[in-house]
Chain A
Amino acid sequence: MTESNKQKEATTSLKILIVDDNEQITKMLTTFLELKQHICTVANDGKEGLELIKENSNDVVLLDLAMPEFDGYAVINDLEDNNLLKDRKIIVFTASTITQDELDKLVDRGVNSYILKPIDIDTLLSKIIETANS
């Protein structure tokens, strides 16, 4: 972790929304991020996540793509249809076997960045902080 990130991590408490249907990941990630003094909100399905993203009360959103029924793509599509995608700081956080081209397309559409699972925990945190402060 760079020195500047360490400083930001130390000084700024971020509001982070995690939209992921994997409850194990959301629980553990919440514990980890709260240990780092951040505030987490969790949505275990896309529909609930979309509502929370629309409320715009978070600094950054970690969005899983593969979720039952209302998946991450549906969330992105809806935000795009409502011209909200570029106003929100969204990191696609996925374990899907997705091509680089597809990921680039998501970024072109307005998603801030992407993280492919599995990722080491420090890189994940830096990416969250970097996106929130971008």
Chain B
Amino acid sequence: MTATETIDEGMFQSDNPIIELNRMLVNYDLTPNQSKVYLFLSKIGVKTASEVSKALKIPRTETYHLLSTLQQKGIIFSIFGKPTKFNAVGIEESLSILVNNEKNRITELEVGKVSIIKLWNIIPKYGSNENEAQDNKFQSLQGRNSILVKLEQMIKESKENILVLGTDEDFKKFYFTEFSELLIKTKSDLKILLDHSGDIPPIFENIPPKKIKKIDDKNREDFCFIIKDDSEVIFFISNNQVKDMLAVWTDSKTFVTTLRSLFSLMWRKSHFVNETGEESILGAEITFEHRLREIEQEKIILNYLQENFERVEILGGNKK
């Protein structure tokens, strides 16, 4: 057994942090094997393709392909010689390169969007169906990014109201995204219902407290949804077996109306986050005390009106 093989066996064992690194690098548009080859070279140093192939137990042809792709991405480089050897660019520089690659790709996609739309408009629509159903569409969304894109679109397009219901845990996934920024900027009437009993969660800390209420129902099942203009809703599906976030978007009137009613009911029963404990207690007592005072007020006005009408009737009777 060579030294490289011994090192490699230790490197990719389950308790080694390199496994976690390997998983994290996949988020930077690397495949698991590309990430593995990069980490191998960056920790072991200069190696030939054959050595990489043997050490990582990846077929030789695939190894060549992986090395070529990593070179194109700019995070490994080759050293001329016979045979050709490879080495990795430092981790910090490599991460910057990968991030920039992604940024450039996004810019290219943005530029390409205009051309695609132009071409799309040139092509006539065949077999258009005027009676196509305009609502009751359902779209399943998997993964944080696809959910976020839909959420951002809903918030940007909203003109009337945005209703958000969920737990601090649900929204943690959207830290460091534009989600809260868009909520702050929205001109729509924003209402957020959280079951967080302490301070306002960091993601909502820049949103005025008068737009946020906390749910008092301790026995509430965890669910999370966001409604836009009473016309569209995204509701999240918690599934422990699926690692990615799952959600369903729909414009089904039945769904939206049902969730809207649920939200209204809970909003009515909840208290603003900045209410003091005393105010909350007062709020809880409101129905009884409040109703009594209202009835008393009704009685006062009614008595006045009765007396007045009796007087008018008497005066009317005298005239006759």
A contacts, CB < 8 Å to B:
22, 24-25, 28-29, 31-32, 35, 66, 68-69, 73-74, 77, 95-99, 102, 116-121
Do residues B293 and A118 form an inter-chain contact, with CB atoms below 8 A?
yes
Interfacial residues of chain B within 136-169, with CB under 8 A of chain A in the complex? none
Chain A residues positioned under 8 Å from B282 (CB to CB): 96-99
Q: Which of B264, B267, B301 contacts A29 (CB 8 A)?
A: B301
Scan B272-301; emit 1 where CB is below 8 A from any A CB, else 0: 000000110010011001110110111111
Do residues B268 and A32 form an inter-chain contact, with CB atoms below 8 A?
no
B177 within 8 A of A: no
Interface size bucket, B side? Answer: 20 to 34
Min CB–CB distance B224 → chain A (angstroms) = 21
Do residues A97 and B290 form an inter-chain contact, with CB atoms below 8 A?
yes
Do residues B297 and A118 form an inter-chain contact, with CB atoms below 8 A?
yes
Min CB–CB distance A15 → chain B (angstroms) = 20
Min CB–CB distance A98 → chain B (angstroms) = 7
Do residues A31 and B300 form an inter-chain contact, with CB atoms below 8 A?
no
Central interface residue in B294, B296, B299, by most chain A CB within 10 Å: B294
If A29-B301, A32-B305 touch, does A117 touch B264 (CB 8 Å cutoff)?
A: no
Do residues B264 and A96 form an inter-chain contact, with CB atoms below 8 A?
no
Chain B residues positioned under 8 Å from A68 (CB to CB): 264, 268
Do residues A121 and B290 form an inter-chain contact, with CB atoms below 8 A?
no
B contacts, CB < 8 Å to A:
208, 210, 264, 267-268, 278-279, 282, 285-286, 289-291, 293-294, 296-302, 304-305, 308
If A32-B305, A118-B296, A119-B297 touch, does A77 touch B286 (CB 8 Å cutoff)?
A: no
Q: Which of B267, B278, B279, B300 contacts A121 (CB 8 A)?
A: B300
30 examples of A-B residue contacts, CB within 8 angstroms: A22-B294, A24-B298, A25-B297, A25-B301, A29-B301, A31-B305, A32-B305, A68-B268, A69-B264, A69-B267, A69-B268, A73-B210, A95-B289, A95-B290, A95-B291, A95-B294, A95-B297, A96-B282, A96-B286, A96-B290, A97-B289, A97-B290, A98-B282, A102-B279, A117-B294, A117-B297, A118-B293, A118-B299, A118-B300, A119-B300
